[in-house]
Chain A
Amino acid sequence: MLAKKMIRDISRHKAQFISIFLMAFLGVFVFAGVGGESVGLEVNVNDYYEETNLADGWIYSNYINDLFMYQVDALGATTDMERQLVVDSVADFKNDPEITLHFVENNTISKFYLLEGEKLDIEDKEGVWLDKSFADEKGLKVGDNITFEFEGYKIEKEIRGLGYSPEYVYHASTSSVIPDFNKIGFAYMSYKAFPEDTVPYNVLNVKFEGTPETYAELLSYHMDGYYNSFVERSEHVSVSQFSEEMDQHSMMSDIFPVVFILIAMLILLTTMTRIITHQRTQIGILKANGFKNHSIILHYVSYGFLLVLIGSILGLILGPITLPQLFYPSMSATYKLPSWNPAWSMNFVYVAALMVIMSIAVSFYSVKSISSENPADTLRPKAPKVSTSGIVEKLAIWKHLSFNVRWNWRDAKRNKFRGLMTIIGVIGCTALLVCAFGMYDGMNDLKEWEFNQINHYDSKLIADEEATISQIDEVADKVNGDKLMEGAIEIESDTAKKSASLLVLNGTDLITPTDYDRNNVEIEDDEVSISQKMADMLGVDVGDTVKWHIMGSDKWVKTKIDKIHADPTSQGFIMSADKLEDLDLNYTATSIITSEHVDRKYDGIKSTNSLNDMTSSWDELTEAMWLLIYILIFFASLLAVIVLYNLGLLSFTEIEREIATLKVLGFKTGALRRLLLTQNLWFTAVGFILGLPVGYFVLDIMWKSSGDSFYILPSITLTNFLLTAAITFALSIMVNLLFSRKIKRLNMVESLKSGE
């Protein structure tokens, strides 16, 4: 019988139980969905690395011969190794695509992942195994021929297979963070396909025991000077870029569901408290008739339990099936993995279980107080909440306040709990909106800053590594360009050691470093400027001295910091060529920038990129971000509607009798709606004001997690700030309108019949 009563109670309070169900569902859905996506990424990429036996580290040297390998083997920790020649080439196409060639000895480490065609064959002199993404862009098939030019050689090979490589999950050119597979690619060949008998191997893929740190120390202790640099797996461009991406995803899956789960619990608590207060006398009757306390508690606890259980299970099932499908397509455009499958983690079940347990606790909490009373007390109605006069009423202004304001003030005062929850709901909504719009503004601001305020060139020509100084000078003359040098460096302060970038400028006005407020920062010929974020990470300031070296060289130099600039995408030093040479380091121009539009090829130039191309590839990269922003706005609105409607309903039932009385007395529907709206607006305003810093805080965490190279501070434009306010308040008013029908249809006679 109690089960029947429960079903009827639930259907009578449908709106609220539906929202409990929805919030439980959404919380678990988002958690398991985004979690399934990020765990999926991790599982997929780890399986891929495992299957292709990705190297633990890469040792770079000018020439790797048998003696070199013997020495590496003698380190003891090395378990497996394989050398290869990695060289940049240009494929024979109109846009001069940049293809990295790998001449391999047997390809047992960092194996080519075959998707089409035949397996990589070391005996095959004429075959090439090509990057599938590049082949797709160019319409190349197995059996087609392709020609590569490098270091004066020109080789033509037949495509034997197409596939991916674990070293190229993420593959972008030096000039752009976004991969453009029309212009970039990689290819694997047997060492026998190399045009000379002796292959000048330059990379040694190693597998080793122990931590990368100990291996690096061992290497530098025993073989210092014999090799250029050592890169461990986590520092590898492709690996680190992808793991940064994964970090962002897993952080999202941690933050947002917490909001939903909290709100679901709040709604459950209010709904249960209300039902139980309503059914006080019923509980008394049940008790008076001999129902045991625990069966009454069980009865009420099962309300929320069942709904949250069903909602959680549905969320667990549907989340991982649907949500990853929203993210994977845009990710697979940037990252190349053989499989994109959502994965399952026991954590999802734990969160769902926690949710169910919390629902039990919350229901138990609200029924406990009544169940411990004796039946006679429970049968009597609870004494009504007494209003009291406080300080505010003693103020002179009170007398001049309208009835509406006075009524709402006191109503809010006697229902603090309800008010508190409305405020929390609005805080959640505002915070999510601030986050969404802040991300939107940050992305746009970054684009404007990077592509309009710092960089003013039209084209950027990337020099060949083998290009001679005179070649570069010649091209620079022809295009009226300015030379610059870019490189990877490592900076060490007293407290930290960080990978950074080096930019050497030659008095150009095509790149103008700025500070965060977009004021130009003039860096004199004898000055070194560090980016703000790098300075923060290293804990240094103007006047401090740091140690640094260019990657691939072990020559450390000391430099005093003279200036601080800010940059949205690259963190490190900016200095002049004179300064670099003063520090006794070689200046080698790596690219040329020009205000002219360059679309022809020059000797010694590997590739040419226009600022427009970079801007549009940035737009492509950020597409996935827009999706996330829309999802955030949608959920923020949903959250506000559910919370405001629910609590509105709660307060409406509590004051139904008062509303009926006022209606009988002759108050118009409009006036009564305003009465309800006033309080809603107060709470919305408070929630909004408190939500702003919360959103700001979350936004800050999001930007900080976006990777070491990005520098974006949380901020929001005035327009979007106003939009946030408009959405929050519009939702509040819209929900209020839902109640005007209820006021109209309120049956005065019925509501007034019984006494308290």
Chain B
Amino acid sequence: MSTIIEFKNVNKEYKSGDHILKAMDNVNFTIDSGEFVVILGPSGAGKSTLLNLLGGLDFVTSGQIIVNNNHVESFSDNQLTEYRARNVGFIFQFYNLIPNLTAQENIELMKDIVDVDIDGLSVLDSVGLKDHANQFPAQLSGGEQQRVSIARAVAKRPTMLLCDEPTGALDSKTGVLILNLLQSMSNNQNTTVVIVTHNAILAEAADKVIRIKNGQVESIVVNENPKNVTDLEW
């Protein structure tokens, strides 16, 4: 398998007045194409910062982020927008669907930014929500909204799916359903999936586990035989 994402000596500092907060402290790791990666760590460790940098929502202070042989850290604002549109599928803790578009419209919205023909109905079908195509986000349950959000993210066939606490707002049964969906995307469609969570149990299901603490990489573990999400002890 080939390396698709590489963090090289990445530093990220936030300044507030005289005080400097180091959110990323010399972070190095690689992710292979199609890997199911879990990034673990307590709150405030810098997990979300890592995901934001990788997703092109924020700029590094120093270091390099190489995705598909492109130096993301040197991208301009416009290039970052383009990068997000083509390469990144975001999945948020609070779904972030557009409230006044229906489920199907939320997915077909992607046609406006990428040159991919998207059939909203069949994408919804793949997450089991074909019957809810004409409902608005507010009419769907949390789990259903998150599934629409996943469908929206994968519809444009991105290089990677970046998920920030995707089950954080869901009950555990629904959470498993969502994680299972993400894992099968990685396994069956060779999509690179990066999940940020503070739930250590998920580690057993990952191809690679990156532990973060105080902005530094604590350990990187590669699982030879990851478990299926549904087989985990929740």
Nearest CB of chain A from residue B96's CB, rounded to whole Å: 4
A288 located at the interface, meaning its Cβ lies under 8 Å from any Cβ of chain B in the complex: no
Closest to A663 in B: B81
Contact with B along A219-255 (1 / 0, CB 8 A): 0000000000000000000000000000000000000
B199 located at the interface, meaning its Cβ lies under 8 Å from any Cβ of chain A in the complex: no
Asked whether B96 lies within 8 Å of A414 as measured between CB atoms, the reply is: no
Contact with A along B153-179 (1 / 0, CB 8 A): 000000000000000010000000000
Report if A406-B112 is in contact (Cβ < 8 Å); known contacts: A411-B100, A661-B98, A748-B57. Answer: no
Taken together as a complex, chains A and B put the C-alpha atoms of A441 and B57 apart, in Å, by 55
Asked whether A664 lies within 8 Å of B136 as measured between CB atoms, the reply is: no
A211 located at the interface, meaning its Cβ lies under 8 Å from any Cβ of chain B in the complex: no
Contact with B along A716-756 (1 / 0, CB 8 A): 00000000000000000000000000001000110010111
Nearest CB of chain A from residue B224's CB, rounded to whole Å: 35
Report if A755-B94 is in contact (Cβ < 8 Å); known contacts: A387-B100, A403-B112. Answer: yes
Report if A388-B85 is in contact (Cβ < 8 Å); known contacts: A414-B100, A744-B77, A749-B57. Answer: no
How many B residues face the partner with a CB closer than 8 A?
39
Asked whether B81 lies within 8 Å of A667 as measured between CB atoms, the reply is: yes
Report if A657-B101 is in contact (Cβ < 8 Å); known contacts: A386-B139, A387-B138. Answer: no
Name the segment of B1-9, B34-42, B102-110, B215-223 touching the other chain: B102-110
Nearest CB of chain A from residue B168's CB, rounded to whole Å: 9
A665 located at the interface, meaning its Cβ lies under 8 Å from any Cβ of chain B in the complex: yes
Closest to A413 in B: B100
B189 located at the interface, meaning its Cβ lies under 8 Å from any Cβ of chain A in the complex: no
B128 located at the interface, meaning its Cβ lies under 8 Å from any Cβ of chain A in the complex: no
Closest to A402 in B: B112
A456 located at the interface, meaning its Cβ lies under 8 Å from any Cβ of chain B in the complex: no
Most chain A CB neighbours (cut-off 10 Å) among B78, B86, B96, B113: B96
Taken together as a complex, chains A and B put the C-alpha atoms of A748 and B52 apart, in Å, by 10
A498 located at the interface, meaning its Cβ lies under 8 Å from any Cβ of chain B in the complex: no
Asked whether B98 lies within 8 Å of A407 as measured between CB atoms, the reply is: yes
Chain B residues positioned under 8 Å from A407 (CB to CB)? 98, 100-101
A668 located at the interface, meaning its Cβ lies under 8 Å from any Cβ of chain B in the complex: yes
Asked whether A403 lies within 8 Å of B90 as measured between CB atoms, the reply is: no
Asked whether A403 lies within 8 Å of B101 as measured between CB atoms, the reply is: yes
Chain B residues positioned under 8 Å from A663 (CB to CB)? 81
Taken together as a complex, chains A and B put the C-alpha atoms of A410 and B100 apart, in Å, by 6
Contact with B along A654-666 (1 / 0, CB 8 A): 0001100111111
Chain B residues positioned under 8 Å from A668 (CB to CB)? 78, 81, 113
Nearest CB of chain B from residue A412's CB, rounded to whole Å: 10
Asked whether B96 lies within 8 Å of A752 as measured between CB atoms, the reply is: yes
A543 located at the interface, meaning its Cβ lies under 8 Å from any Cβ of chain B in the complex: no
Taken together as a complex, chains A and B put the C-alpha atoms of A658 and B101 apart, in Å, by 11
B126 located at the interface, meaning its Cβ lies under 8 Å from any Cβ of chain A in the complex: no
Report if A386-B109 is in contact (Cβ < 8 Å); known contacts: A403-B101, A407-B100, A665-B85. Answer: no
Q: List 5 extra interface pairs beyond A407-B98, A410-B101, A666-B84, CB under 8 A.
A: A657-B96, A661-B96, A664-B55, A664-B96, A755-B169
Taking beta carbons and an 8 Å cutoff, which residues of B are in contact with A? 48, 52, 55, 57-58, 77-78, 81-86, 88, 90, 92-94, 96-102, 105, 108-114, 134, 136, 138-139, 152, 169
Taking beta carbons and an 8 Å cutoff, which residues of A are in contact with B? 384-389, 402-404, 406-407, 410-411, 413-414, 657-658, 661-669, 671, 744, 748-749, 752, 754-756
